Amino acid sequence: MTQWQKSSYSGGGEGNECIELAKEEHELLLRESDEPDHILTLAPHALAALLRGLSTP
């Protein structure tokens, strides 16, 4: 069973407004909690590049 972890930036309320991350054997999984059936499969280096791009001003 895949264990999803919420982003540390998620709100503490009851809403499902967050990004969740899980680890499989050789890849990472990323999903929006509002649409849990839509899952992105990423190599660790691809997720790192995505996060760098999102955090760049």
More confident residue, 31 or 11: 31
Alpha carbons within 13 angstroms on the beta-carbon side of residue 15 total 7
Rounded to whole angstroms, the Cα distance separating 52 from 17 reads: 21
Residue that the structure tokens 């919420």 belong to: 6
- Mean pLDDT computed over 15-35: 85
pTM for the whole thing? 0.68
Does 15 have pLDDT greater than 80?
no
Whether the predicted pLDDT of 46 surpasses 60:
yes
